[in-house]
Amino acid sequence: MKKAAWEIALCAGVLMVFCLVCRFTFLNTYTAYVPVSGHREEALRQGGVRMASDAPQVLHGEVEVHEDYLRVPVHPDKAGEAFLSFQDENGESLNSLYLRVDRFMTVYDMQTGGFTGDSAVMIAITIFWLLVSFIMLRHFFQAKGPGFYAYSTIYFVGFFLFSLVTGLVMLSATAAHLADPAQYNMYTVYSVINSASTRFMLLTMPLVVLFAIAMGISNIALLRHERMWLPNMMGLLLSVALILGEGLGWYLFNRNFMGSEWEWRVRQTLENTAATVFVYCECMLAGSIVCGIKAAKHQPAPDKDFIIILGCWFRKDGTLPPLLRGRADRAIAFWREQKEKTGKEARFIPSGGQGKDEPMAEGEALRRYLVEQGVPENLILPETQSKNTYQNMDFSKAIIQETNPQGKAVFATTNYHVFRSGVWASLAGLNAEGVGSRTKWWYWPNAFIREVVGLLKKRWKQEILFLILLIAFFGVLSMVV
């Protein structure tokens, strides 16, 4: 993640230099666009337009008449402020222009938000967001093997989506401003930037709604097979939250507003804050889903020395339920495939301690099942003390260090649990990849959502801090712009 952050900072620095070079080398003139009522181009051309300034020493300019606006190239002479008024041949006022010149000879249009070199800045911002999306996507594809199991991989996917959509929105705004700056002024562009989160919500609404419906259907199917308790309803609750969030965003974005400018800014701030929270959760969810699916489908290279089987609850008679049996069978399948392809015979580490309602340790129950399936006992190294996934990985690593410190490992678990288990392996210092066993279609989505919640729960302080920074940024932007 640090490498990606440095690359993004480098892009920002290069683009800032690009803007400064353009500004002070090529862009020394600011062009203002002053609207006039009606289509009076011919009359104004014939009679001419008079421009008066209350501070002629600050700047000077010319007037070009167009169909429904005046194009006014302005050249700064010294720092200060100037009020320009425009009249036709009869002395009738057409419009006015309020400009400010700073000590760097940059002209600011106080009525439209434009400034000297604004087009170059817009182009740079557009390129920046598109480059960020490229950097995020490249780092996601570069994360391979054990290095794939990391929180940063989720960020790469989630914020690739956000930066790509933001870049495309900025691209459309930039193109519109360059094509017709009179109609699409800089305040309009600021509004686009300011409402980036809301626009992301609206653009992704069809996909989010379809996902929510699919998640709700799978959760209802789950509740028909399993008991009605909160962990089994997380997918349904998420579906309702996604649909309500998108509906609220649509309503706030499209409703009419009547009130003062201050009230409008407060409303914009609240809307953007809500949209930022929703989009952040949406990006993290999208990143977790993509990473989870990729991890579940991944097939490690057949060169492993150890196969760790992650334990879970089993029956009181010692037999394995479908979930745990699926993990063991997936491990055996990998063992056999590797042996057929390379002749290399890996050792098994069935991992799991004894729960309160279990007759023996999970590692021992798995060992017995492996023997029943024809695995030689000398290839089984049970781990029977762990109480959670982190300990599964940590204690299994100790066995690997004692047996073959240079050995390569793979772990077997249920498909929805692969990515999170890989993260725990990484935190435990175990360099291992995962393989996933299949589960019922109606069980997988809800179980995976539980995994996402569990995955992010460990980093809740960092996530809250990052979210606060995002809210602060868009909140200040709403109040200032």
Q: Report residue 471 as tokens.
A: 């809210």
pLDDT of residue 88: 79
Q: Is the pLDDT of residue 380 over 80?
A: yes
pLDDT of residue 309: 94
**Cα–Cα distance measured from residue 107 to residue 84, given in angstroms and rounded to the nearest whole number:** 13
345 in Cβ contact with 304 (< 8 Å): no
Residue whose tokens read 């023997």:
371
Q: Are strands 409-414 and 432-437 parallel, antiparallel or unpaired?
A: parallel
421 in Cβ contact with 411 (< 8 Å): yes
pLDDT of residue 395: 94
pLDDT of residue 397: 94
Average pLDDT score over residue span 330-348:
93
Domains and CATH numbers, the chain: 28-109 (2.60.40)
pLDDT of residue 217: 86
Highest mean pLDDT among 40-54, 234-248, 284-298, 321-335: 321-335
Q: Is the pLDDT of residue 22 over 90?
A: no
The residue ranking higher by pLDDT, 210 or 442, is: 210
Average pLDDT score over residue span 91-98:
84
- Computed over every residue of the chain, the mean pLDDT equals 85
Radius of gyration over every alpha carbon of the chain, rounded to an integer in angstroms: 31
Q: Is the pLDDT of residue 481 over 60?
A: no
Angle 133-21-9 from CA coordinates, rounded to 5°? 30
Residue whose tokens read 């005046």:
70
> What percent of the chain is predicted at pLDDT more than 70?
94
Confidence of residue 91 (pLDDT cuts 50, 70, 90): confident
pTM: 0.82
Average pLDDT score over residue span 199-212:
86
**Cα–Cα distance measured from residue 340 to residue 335, given in angstroms and rounded to the nearest whole number:** 9
Confidence of residue 100 (pLDDT cuts 50, 70, 90): very high
Report how far apart the first and last C-alpha atoms of the chain are (Å, whole number): 31
Name the strands in the sheet holding 80-87, side by side, starting at the edge strand that comes first in the sequence.
Answer: 50-53, 80-87, 93-101, 107-109
Q: Is the pLDDT of residue 433 over 60?
A: yes
Q: Report residue 238 as tokens.
A: 């998420």
Average pLDDT score over residue span 197-210:
85
Residues 6 or more apart in contact with residue 78 via CB below 8 angstroms:
57, 58, 101
Q: pLDDT tens, 107-127?
A: 998 888 888 888 888 899 899
